[in-house]
């Protein structure tokens, strides 16, 4: 029978429920249990697809094309298993489903209410992944903070579900903050006490407290928390600030979080977790033999979470190359043809990031021209690939008006254009080319040597495509379409023939990079940047 773990948060947001959930899942997986994690978000958007990255960080896309919360990226990177549409649910999706059913007459004329109709739908979704018996344990992370108005239906659903599941079938982990007051010189437990009290008012007694803290919890603090929050002292878990999110599973192992959870769920703790490969990765991450600076040119550089998966992919690729990757964020709008050499003067590689809209386009084009003409390693993702095509069209093919149809609908040379099926689309949400699509790589190309195979699958999130009417011109001038979608003949990868490393993908390779399987494009790009750095030092 599938067991359920619910992770709630208290005192403040951004304490790291996603990292704690992913770390616990990693430990349970390392003990041989089949685990998955799902995220329930209390906002009314159907999904994060239409949210500005400044609002909610990046939008993470799953294999089946769901636009989801960035925490699902953590789940996949830690567990090395794909998530799906079912792993991320929002209040908007819950209400939309219930309202659609009401319009169909499915409730037989009854008054539709938060309890039981909304809470019943939340419970149904919480149990969905456990229906087929594929998982031993399902971890459900509840977004927001206990006490938020929008979180109440989710908390009530958990209360009901725990009662229905019976004893030893579920538990609640409450992640909370134990702040250090410098003036008093001590840690304070009162915020946690109040947070647990609020949870108790809603009918839920947490089984485990995970306490985020800047200082170690001594035995007196643990006893106090256990006494006033009504939990066993062994269930008061310290979560101290860590140098890297990848340290957290080992810190949770030291605190015996996994053992405490399994004991409460009446599951075996006989086999120790196998974390050998994880420790090898951490060893490489913490002991690099070299360092390389790579520029990330994008629109949302003030918020690193907007490029969360790219940053993590650089960490994975850096560890694989035993090299520390320092990412230098450069706002695309700040670059022009006069200052580009200065802006990119001390970097050994340039990644032009994905995004939407015209803002920063000219800066990205200036950056790409500079790296193309100066043989600096370049990697373009999604819009970054489209920018590479536009820049090449303007400056090599001399198509002065070359542009994307997204930026200029009147351009004479729409080298990036809109697919026919996209021209009729009116709604913004969930209408792009989303999720996994196949790609066939041409033999003898840089992409073929990087992937080591001809057939690949990558995840997409975009609306505009390379215009095949210009294919012959581009290939004759040296920009090769080295990856093609076999079903609709769309260009997936472009690269330059006579350049040490100039490659760009219409897809998002960062979404498939994990600790266990760093993405080959990132690994190769970091290696090329490292080689460029060494060559520059020898000059």
Binding annotation for CTP: 13, 148-150, 188-193, 224
441 forms bridges with which residues in the sheet? 483
Q: Do 69 and 39 meet the contact criterion of CB atoms below 8 Å apart?
A: yes
Annotated binding site for UTP: 13, 188-193, 224
Q: What length does the chain have?
A: 539
Annotated binding site: 13-19, 54, 71, 141, 148-150, 188-193, 224, 242, 355, 383-386, 406, 463
For residue 158, report the phi and psi dihedrals to the nearest 5 degrees.
-65, -40
Annotated binding site for ATP: 14-19, 71, 242
102 in catalytic set: no
Rg over CA atoms, the chain: 25
Q: In 3D, which of 351, 390, 370 has the Cα closest to residue 521?
A: 351
What tokens does 473 get? 């011109």
What tokens does 20 get? 């704690």
Kindly state the helix (H) or strand (E) to which residue 294 belongs, with its residue range.
strand 290-298
- The rounded distance, in Å, linking the Cα atoms of 173 and 176 is 10
For residue 494, report the phi and psi dihedrals to the nearest 5 degrees.
-125, 150
Q: Give me the catalytic one of 211, 495, 510, 519.
A: 510
Q: Give me the catalytic one of 382, 417, 460, 495.
A: 382
- The rounded distance, in Å, linking the Cα atoms of 477 and 362 is 22
Annotated binding site for Mg(2+): 71, 141
Q: Give me the catalytic one of 74, 316, 508, 519.
A: 508
**Cβ atoms within 10 Å, residue 159:** 18
**Cβ atoms within 10 Å, residue 51:** 17
Q: How many CA atoms lie within 13 A of 504 on its CB side?
A: 31
510 in catalytic set: yes
**Cβ atoms within 10 Å, residue 112:** 14
- The rounded distance, in Å, linking the Cα atoms of 242 and 255 is 14
What tokens does 103 get? 């319009």
Annotated binding site for L-glutamine: 54, 355, 383-386, 406, 463
- The rounded distance, in Å, linking the Cα atoms of 393 and 397 is 5
Burial class of residue 418, CB neighbours in 10 A (0-12, 13-18, 19+): middle
483 forms bridges with which residues in the sheet? 441, 493
- The rounded distance, in Å, linking the Cα atoms of 402 and 307 is 28
User: In the block, which residue shows the tokens 């990848």?
Assistant: 246
DSSP output for 504-531 = EESS-GGGG--SSS--HHHHHHHHHHHH
DSSP output for 463-503 = SEEE-GGGHHHHHHHTEEEEEE-TTT--EEEEEETTSSSEE
CA distances to 305, 327, 355, 368, 511 from 297, in Å: 14, 10, 11, 10, 18
User: In the block, which residue shows the tokens 């990031």?
Assistant: 353
382 in catalytic set: yes
- The rounded distance, in Å, linking the Cα atoms of 351 and 227 is 52
- The rounded distance, in Å, linking the Cα atoms of 92 and 421 is 27
Q: Which residues are catalytic?
A: 382, 508, 510
């Amino acid at each position: 029978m599938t067991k359920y773990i619910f992770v709630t948060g208290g005192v403040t947001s951004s304490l790291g429920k996603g990292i704690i959930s992913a770390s616990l899942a990693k430990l349970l997986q390392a003990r041989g249990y089949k685990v998955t994690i799902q995220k329930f978000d209390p906002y009314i958007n159907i999904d994060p697809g239409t949210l500005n990255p400044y609002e909610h960080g990046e939008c993470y896309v799953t294999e089946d094309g769901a636009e989801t919360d960035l925490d699902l990226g953590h789940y996949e990177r830690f567990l090395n298993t794909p998530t799906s549409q079912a792993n991320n649910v929002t209040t908007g999706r819950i209400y939309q489903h219930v309202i659609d059913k009401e319009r169909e007459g499915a409730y037989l004329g009854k008054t539709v209410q938060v309890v039981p109709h909304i809470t019943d739908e939340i419970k149904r979704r919480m149990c969905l992944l456990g229906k087929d018996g594929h998982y031993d344990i399902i971890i459900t992370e509840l977004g927001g903070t206990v006490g938020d108005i929008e979180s109440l239906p989710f908390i009530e659903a958990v209360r009901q579900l725990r009662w229905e599941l019976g004893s030893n079938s579920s538990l609640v982990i409450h992640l909370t903050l134990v702040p250090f007051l410098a003036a008093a010189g001590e840690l304070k437990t009162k915020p946690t006490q109040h947070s647990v009290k609020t949870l108790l008012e809603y009918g839920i007694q947490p089984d485990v407290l995970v306490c985020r803290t800047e200082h170690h919890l001594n035995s007196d603090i643990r006893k106090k928390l256990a006494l006033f929050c009504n939990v066993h002292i062994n269930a008061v878990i310290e979560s101290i600030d860590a140098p890297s999110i990848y340290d957290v599973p080992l810190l949770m192992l030291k605190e015996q979080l996994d053992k405490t959870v399994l004991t409460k769920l009446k599951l075996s703790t006989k086999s120790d977790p196998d974390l050998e490969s994880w420790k090898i990765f951490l060893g490489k991450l913490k002991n690099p033999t070299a360092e390389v600076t790579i520029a990330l040119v994008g629109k949302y550089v003030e918020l690193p979470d907007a490029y969360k998966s790219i940053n993590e992919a650089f960490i994975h690729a850096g560890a694989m190359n035993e090299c520390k990757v320092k990412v230098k964020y450069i706002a695309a709008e700040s670059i022009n043809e006069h200052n580009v050499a200065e802006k990119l003067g001390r970097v050994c590689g340039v990644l032009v990031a994905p995004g939407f809209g015209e803002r920063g386009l000219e800066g990205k084009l200036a950056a790409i021209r500079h790296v193309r003409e100066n043989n600096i390693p370049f990697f373009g993702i999604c819009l970054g690939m489209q920018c590479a095509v536009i820049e090449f069209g303007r400056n090599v093919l001399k198509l002065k008006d070359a542009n994307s149809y997204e930026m200029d609908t009147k351009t004479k040379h729409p080298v990036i254009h809109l697919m026919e099926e996209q021209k009729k689309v009116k709604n913004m949400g969930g209408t792009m080319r989303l999720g996994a699509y196949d790609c066939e790589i041409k033999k003898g190309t840089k992409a073929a040597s990087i992937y080591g195979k001809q057939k690949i699958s990558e995840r997409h999130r975009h609306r505009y495509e390379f215009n095949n009417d210009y294919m012959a011109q581009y290939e004759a001038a040296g920009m090769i379409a080295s990856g093609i979608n076999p079903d609709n003949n769309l260009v997936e990868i472009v690269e330059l023939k006579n350049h040490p490393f100039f490659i760009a993908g219409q897809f998002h390779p960062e979404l498939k990079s994990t600790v266990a399987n760093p993405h080959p494009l990132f690994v190769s790009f970091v290696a090329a940047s490292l080689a460029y750095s060494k060559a520059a030092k020898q000059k």
